[in-house]
Chain A
Amino acid sequence: MDREDLTPAAGSPAKPSGSFGRLSSGFLAVSLLSGAALVPHYDPAAALSSLESIASGIPLGAFLRGLHAWSSYGLLLALVVHAVEVARKRTEGQLAAGVWWRAVALLPLLVLALLGGFVLRGDAEARAAADVWRGMTSSIPGAGPPLAALLLGGPGSGLGAAALHHAGTFSILLVILTVEHARVVWPGTRPSVLAALASVGAAGLLTVPLGPPPPGHGVLLGPWPLLGLQGMLVDLPAAAGWIVPLAGVLLLGSLRGAAGPARTAALAALAALAAGWAAFTLRILVLAGH
């Protein structure tokens, strides 16, 4: 690693923030290990049937799938709380600019990985989620269609590209950027045990759905962290699907180096985005008849 990257910015607080940062590393470890255990049994060419045979054909298969899903959701939750923690303690200045921006990139990368994981279910809801993802990405002017093809392959080309990016590209980038940011490979015993216990508890209590959605769903819901995005797409132009998350990432990134009214404005805009996200989450749940 570049020596300069380890040098805290002048005037930044000396105490690192990060109990939830370490916890997210723990969740990442659980998610990667459970994902690696699933890979040999998953077939992108027969996604749904291979997941069904994981659930019923291999010992603890359904539990393992739940462990992978819940640890990944736990990772997202811990990462968001960590970002709030950093903003509150103003510790972003401890990182060099490049490392900070790459750490911020962890959030969209994780969301892409989660979306990819949902699409890999291969059932009707997953196919619809893939269509929405493709349509939304294609609405990016110029780069949209090639980017959609890069992430999901051509229309009707199967789940090969999504599987490759989920298990390969995104996972590798998440590991590299996490290690660069945390400066350790092993998150430590306590956060790892805590993340493992939380994931095991969730996987034991809550099943991850597969197959047709329960009757009465008027609209596609998709992965729960993205319900706000789904709600937004009902009322706002399709481009809002990438403009709003991009604005969130840029606002979070801009906290480093922002002081006084600029920082207050960035934080207020982030809070407004979060409130809008929550409102659109409610909107889609109501529309779906929940």
Chain B
Amino acid sequence: MSSRRDFLGEVWRWTGAALSVLGLGVVWKSLAAKGESREVDLPSDLVQRLSGDGGQGIAVGPLFLTGTPSAPKALSLECTHLGCRVAPLPSGAFACPCHGSRFDSEGRATSGPARRPLARAVLEKRGDRWIARI
């Protein structure tokens, strides 16, 4: 009788230990997970509209496109301070509405609490489409 109780106790202990390890694993995995990169499909008609002469770029969802139709460039519009959406200014610079950070046309932080530059998306041509990865 007692050995049966001992056995059940062991089962409980091992089950508890296994579940704890599993739980820790799940927590660890969620904490260690790198931010997933997102892909943004860039409509080809928009890319064709790029003038490449230093004129206005084009905002497409979370990105700002500049460059030429054959060699477009894309900056993320996510502020590197706390993640608000920055607004492109007529001067080519960017302003964050949340705490007033400013970025130059290359995305470098010039004033305000943001220290890091705006992220540059990796662009890839697939067939006749451009895909941006951020």
Contacts and interface: CB of A to CB of B under 8 A. Distances in A.
Interface in A237-284: 238
A158 interface: no
Interface stretch (A3-11, A95-103, A126-134, A191-199): A126-134
Contact of B85 (A127, A136, A230, A235): A127
B67 to A, nearest CB: 26
25 contacts: A128-B84, A128-B85, A131-B84, A131-B85, A132-B83, A134-B82, A135-B82, A136-B82, A142-B31, A145-B30, A218-B100, A219-B99, A219-B100, A220-B84, A220-B98, A220-B99, A230-B99, A233-B81, A233-B98, A234-B99, A234-B112, A235-B113, A238-B81, A238-B113, A287-B100
Interface string B30-70: 11010000000000000000000000000000000000000
Interface of A: 124, 127-128, 131-132, 134-136, 142-143, 145-146, 217-220, 230, 233-235, 238, 287
A218 B102 CA distance: 11
Chain A binding surface SS class: helix
Nearest to B99: A234
Given A142-B31, A146-B30, A132 B84 contact: yes
Going nearest first, the 4 A-B pairs with the smallest beta carbon separation are A135-B82, A135-B83, A131-B84, A131-B83
Nearest to A233: B99
A127 to B, nearest CB: 7
B112 A128 contact: no
Contacts of A287: 100
Nearest to A237: B113
Interface string B81-115: 11111000000000001111000000000001100
Contact of A134 (B83, B99, B113): B83
A145 B112 CA distance: 24
A128 B81 contact: no
A128 B97 contact: yes
A246 to B, nearest CB: 17
A136 B79 CA distance: 13
Contact of A128 (B33, B98, B113): B98
Given A131-B82, A134-B83, A233-B98, 10 more contacts: A127-B85, A132-B83, A132-B99, A220-B98, A234-B99, A234-B112, A234-B113, A238-B82, A238-B113, A287-B100
A235 to B, nearest CB: 7
A233 B112 CA distance: 10
Contacts of A234: 99-100, 112-113
Nearest to A146: B30
A233 B31 contact: no
B66 to A, nearest CB: 23
